[in-house]
Amino acid sequence: MSGITTHVLDTSRGRPATGLGVALEHSSAGEWQRIGNAKTAADGRAANLAPAGAALAAGTYRLVFDTGAYFQALGIAGFYPQVVVVFEVRDPAEHHHVPLLLSPYGYSTYRGS
């Protein structure tokens, strides 16, 4: 498991968002570098966003959720084609869990545990 994980719940359907694409990126010198990507599992979790053994550094990261493709696959017209969550990692030794509560016309996020 990487030091950054996510869990996506589709609140409009009352279940985990399965198969939703998510990318993990790190900001370096003002440029975003993709570290890894995954699709959420049946429980809505994406635990392996970074390559195995990759060291987490302090800095600015973002998760890019491909919500447009997710809702399109369900035959639902959503409003947000992507959800981008930018956050700071101050202590790379800590685990950073960034959940997303999602519906076709809104979303919410927070720092989880």
- The whole-number mean pLDDT for each consecutive block of 10 residues of the chain, a chain of 113 residues, reads 87 97 93 95 92 84 98 96 96 92 97 89
CA–chain centroid gap for 60, Å, is: 14
d(CA 73, CA 104): 12
Structural domains in the chain (count): 1
d(CA 64, CA 66): 7
**CATH at 86:** 2.60.40.180
Q: Which domain holds residue 102?
A: 4-109
Which pLDDT belongs to residue 62?
A: 97
The pTM (predicted TM-score) of the whole model is 0.94
Which pLDDT belongs to residue 28?
A: 87
Which pLDDT belongs to residue 50?
A: 82
Q: What is the DSSP secondary structure assignment for residue 63, as one 8-state letter?
A: E
Which pLDDT belongs to residue 54?
A: 77
Which pLDDT belongs to residue 55?
A: 80
